[in-house]
């Protein structure tokens, strides 16, 4: 699903310095991530920002946020198709379990292949743990999930999961991570994928920055 969603919406190097490499010649983003901490490049979530959300959090330096209009994307996909197939496919990619895609933050400008995506649900939706389990269950190929309770740096209680996703198309398995919190406006899920596990680990500091600064909008 991650590959297909990236193609729909975007058409639209190792982990933290474990090998002792010299990071002096790396880009600013590479240097910050090699130390295990991502430098902030601003925040998203506030009204008028690239992604208006029920929460706010810092985005890693050089990562590029883009809001997703889940209502408009299916109609864009169906243009010229002559039927509703394109719209149906787009709609299925924009919804996962009880939440809907609201924002994606592209790691490509920082030198990585992957996204930190934000999904939101409606007010009154059940607790974060249930939402997160439904989110993972709705992803075909997900398994070996490990859940734990967490608290964000902004004081929000939530549930985090690490799991493995196996792509039947590519016959590859990779690590993915997601975090769900509850807000008065409904649940919010942050999901970090990546092209493969190596990219996932390289992008993990950006996810940790988001979790550390996550607070109500």
Cβ neighbors of 77 (< 8 A, separation 6 or more) are 8, 86, 87, 89, 90
- Distance (Å) of CA 75 to CA 66, 80, 160: 18, 10, 33
**CA separation for the pair 84, 81 (Å, rounded):** 7
Residues 53, 62: Cα–Cα separation, whole Å? 20
Domain assignment present for residue 4? The answer is no
pLDDT of residue 49: 84
Q: For residue 190, what are the domain limits? A: 41-69+99-216
Q: What is the structure's pLDDT at 37? A: 81
Residue 166 covered by a domain: yes
Report the domain count for the chain. Answer: 1
Q: Give the whole-angstrom CA distance, residue 134 versus residue 147.
A: 12
Residue 123 lies in a domain: yes
Can you give the pTM of this predicted structure?
Answer: 0.78
Q: Are 205 and 59 in contact (CB under 8 A)?
A: no
- SS3 state at 134: helix
Q: What is the residue-level pLDDT of the chain in tens, covering all 217 positions?
A: 444 444 444 433 233 333 233 333 333 334 334 446 899 999 999 998 889 999 999 999 999 999 998 877 544 544 555 455 455 556 678 999 999 999 999 999 999 999 999 999 999 877 999 999 999 999 989 999 999 999 999 999 999 999 999 987 778 899 999 999 999 999 999 999 999 999 999 999 999 999 999 999 8
Give the pLDDT confidence score for residue 125 in this predicted structure: 78
Assigned domain for 205 exists: yes
Instruction: Flag whether 6 is in a domain.
Output: no
Q: Are 125 and 186 in contact (CB under 8 A)?
A: yes
In a domain, 164, yes or no: yes
**Residue 199 sits in a domain of what CATH number?**
3.40.1000.10
- 26 inside domain: no
Residue 77 lies in a domain: no
């Amino acid at each position: 699903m991650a590959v297909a969603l990236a193609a729909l919406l975007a058409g639209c190097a190792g982990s933290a310095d474990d090998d002792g490499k010299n990071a002096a010649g790396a880009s600013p983003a590479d240097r910050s991530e090699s130390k295990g901490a991502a430098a902030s490049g601003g925040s998203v979530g506030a009204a008028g920002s690239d992604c208006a959300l029920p929460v706010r959090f810092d985005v890693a330096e050089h990562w590029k946020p883009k809001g997703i209009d889940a209502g408009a994307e299916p109609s864009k996909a169906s243009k010229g198709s002559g039927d509703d197939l394109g719209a149906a496919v787009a709609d299925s990619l924009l919804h996962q379990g009880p939440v809907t895609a609201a924002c994606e933050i592209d790691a490509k400008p920082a030198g990585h292949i992957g996204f930190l995506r934000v999904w939101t649900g409606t007010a009154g939706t059940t607790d974060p743990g249930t939402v997160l389990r439904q989110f993972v269950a709705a992803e075909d190929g997900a398994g070996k999930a490990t859940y734990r309770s967490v608290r964000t740096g902004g004081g929000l209680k939530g549930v985090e999961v690490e799991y493995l996703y196996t792509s039947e198309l590519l016959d590859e398995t990779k690590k993915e991570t997601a975090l769900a919190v509850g807000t008065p406006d409904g649940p919010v899920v942050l999901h970090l994928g990546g092209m493969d596990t190596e990219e996932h680990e390289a992008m993990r500091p950006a996810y940790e920055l988001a979790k550390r600064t996550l607070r109500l909008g």
